[in-house]
Amino acid sequence: MKNKEYLNGLNNEQREAVSYLDGPLLIVAGAGSGKTKVLTSKIAHIIEEKKAFPNQILAVTFTNKAAKEMQNRVSEILKKNSSGLSWLGTFHSISAKLLRKHARAVGLNYNFTILDTDDQIRLIKNICKSENIDVKKISPNYIISVIDKWKNKGWYPLDVEIKKSEFLEKQFLNVYKIYQQKLLDLNACDFGDLILHCVKIFENNEDICKIYSNNFKYILVDEYQDTNVIQSKWLNYLSSHHKNLCCVGDDDQSIYSWRGAEIKNFLEFDKYYENTKIIRLEKNYRSTQNILNTASFLIENNKNRVGKKIYTDGEKGDLINLSCYKSGKDEAINVGDKIEKLKNDFGFNNMAILVRAIFQTREFEERFLKIGIPYRIIGGIKFYERAEIKDCLSYLRIVNQHKDDLAFERIVNVPKRSIGDTTINTISNYAKSNKISLIESSKKLLELNKIKPKTKIGLSSIIKLIEKWSRDHLNGTNHVKLLQTIMDESGYSSMLKNKKDLENENRVENIKELMNAMKEFDNLDSFLEHVSLATSIDQDWEGQKVNLMTMHASKGLEFDVVFLPGWEEGLFPHQKSIEEKGDKGLEEERRLAYVGITRAKKLVNVSFSMNRFYQGDWMDSMASRFVEELPEENIEKNIQNENEVADFEFNQDVEFESEIKSPGWLRYQKRLK
């Protein structure tokens, strides 16, 4: 082999992965092992060794950002523009390119439109209307997610398999049939169709499939553990001639099954492709050995994995700090204090708090606002800026103060009450002319019979409800109970419960967290004042900010210091994941813990609390089973206030009989009784 410059900076395993060019290759790349460097060096090596022209290499990523980074790195290595890599992109961008050339094979014209989410929602709403499906009860977003799930599995309407118990999905199947026909009529497709149609073309047109499988001498895939069924089929067809398929990924970081990712693709790669070479990249260039030992020890509890042992030539580093706190509030206070102590050594930008569920950010945000720690929410919205929280606050504001026109404007048609923009403009114009509030204006217009009959019912009902809630408030109804009453009587609770999708589940959790926040205040006035002050603080400070995000959103990122709060049974591992997916769900949750730990370069802080307000109730917490799985020799236990938590055992002698009968599940059952 020629002494290529780009090979010099590689370790033995990386060099072997780059140099192997004959047949299917699975690169098991541990966290921080330099997989992007390997992929880009491999592309450069193929070109330099004249094994293929740039346009004979297919390189697939999951994001445009990753594709661009790969393109730039290859250009850097080759010291020339890599624009010749015309087949480097995401699954969807490459599929769109293929589909434009062969659109007629699936009943489309080459100039087809690719629908965005808004277009999809509009189309689904129209179909639901014609099929008498109430979109107030079943969210169009949820229907789209089910259709997307079917497409990820490679199913057209005629291929869909539905269990007898899945009544809703039977209803959706009819919508799916109409939806696909509408797409054809519109000369359009959605993102799921891009790959699905390509696979259909390859299945039904051997000549077209041959053109591409002959052309692509080498196929490289990044983050292979995140591929779904249809993406796997797509790769299978395109690699069928040369068999030079190189897939890079880490099965221990497979955390997106809810998006359709199928870990089986990774675990059984050598069964799909004969004579597969497996190379493990185990040397880590990111974290200390203590961090790596902890992550490795934890993930070894998973049975379904390829297996590897990550290590570093770097320092052993500090022990993982494991802390127990009295409550979630105490946890936030202490994390804030630790950040203050560490800011001079690391800077805010290099610190991150990774949570299992987005509602957990609230207590940290409150604390940071109070003590002046700048922060950003990555992959999400700040707590008091979330739509459902703003809705709740607007309801409370209008009950507290009838002249709050902005609050009235926000909630008057949420949930839908047939009060459109035209009516709101009429109310607003009358209010301006008569110098009265929007509520007073609405009352006057109703008295004068100036509101359309259909709208009149909705407007009249919300005004009566506001007046009733105001009386409840004046008569001394507790402010937390008041919000619950408002949510129930306004129809807001029903709206969230009826629309079955992940977003709505998060919204419900956020509202319950808001109620938790309200309990810290004696009355409604003091709470609303607190929120006003909190949200008015300028959070667009220049410079450094602490990063808050979910563990899912942290994938691919790294920080000097990582905080992992809320490691309690029921919250993490999340009870829903275990109940729905059993052992598979538990293993995915453990992989999520592995991802969280391996984001850290220098310091890891794991914590849990003895009590937490969760799902609307205060609960006695039990440390997550993952806490029990951390290696004793790599952790340092820290009890902040020994007097308060003296009776708490870090290592609780608890046997988990099954994935269902966990402590979190038992607590859940208690609540149901």
**Among the listed residues 107, 101, 71, 72, the one whose alpha carbon sits nearest the alpha carbon of residue 86:** 71
Within 10 angstroms of residue 479's Cβ, the number of other Cβ atoms is 21
Of 13, 14, 35, 382, the active-site residue reads 35
| CA–CA distance, 178 with 124 (Å, rounded to integer) | 9
3-class DSSP assignment, residue 561: strand
Q: How far is CA 66 from the centre of its chain?
A: 18
The answer to whether residue 583 is catalytic is: no
| CA–CA distance, 83 with 627 (Å, rounded to integer) | 49
Of 37, 386, 599, 667, the active-site residue reads 599
**Among the listed residues 241, 234, 269, 233, the one whose alpha carbon sits nearest the alpha carbon of residue 254:** 269
| CA–CA distance, 41 with 47 (Å, rounded to integer) | 10
Of 13, 190, 193, 222, the active-site residue reads 222
Structure tokens given for 638: 């820290």
- Those residues whose C-beta lies under 8 Å from the C-beta of residue 498, and which sit 6 or more positions away, are 136, 137, 138, 139
* Pairing assessment for the beta strands 245-249 and 218-221 based on DSSP bridges: parallel
The answer to whether residue 35 is catalytic is: yes
| CA–CA distance, 615 with 515 (Å, rounded to integer) | 10
**Among the listed residues 225, 514, 279, 551, the one whose alpha carbon sits nearest the alpha carbon of residue 390:** 514
Alpha-carbon torsion 532, 533, 534, 538, what sign? positive
Of 253, 288, 455, 550, the active-site residue reads 253
The answer to whether residue 362 is catalytic is: no
Find the helix or strand (DSSP H, E) in which 247 lies. strand 245-249
DSSP of 162-219: --TT-HHHHHHHHHHHHHHHHHHHTTEE-HHHHHHHHHHHHHH-HHHHHHHHHH-SEE
Amino acid identity of residue 126, one-letter, is N
- Those residues whose C-beta lies under 8 Å from the C-beta of residue 624, and which sit 6 or more positions away, are 567, 568, 569, 571, 572, 573, 608
Contact 30, 308 (CB under 8 A): yes
Alpha-carbon Rg for the chain, nearest whole angstrom, is: 28
Contact 437, 390 (CB under 8 A): no
Structure tokens given for 396: 């409370």
Of 16, 36, 456, 615, the active-site residue reads 36
Of 13, 223, 251, 404, the active-site residue reads 223
First vs last Cα of the chain: how many Å apart?
71
As a residue count, the chain comes to: 673
104: left (phi over 0), alpha (psi -120 to 50) or beta: alpha
The answer to whether residue 455 is catalytic is: no
Q: How far is CA 153 from the centre of its chain?
A: 20
Q: Looking at the annotation, which residues are catalytic?
A: 35-36, 222-223, 253, 599
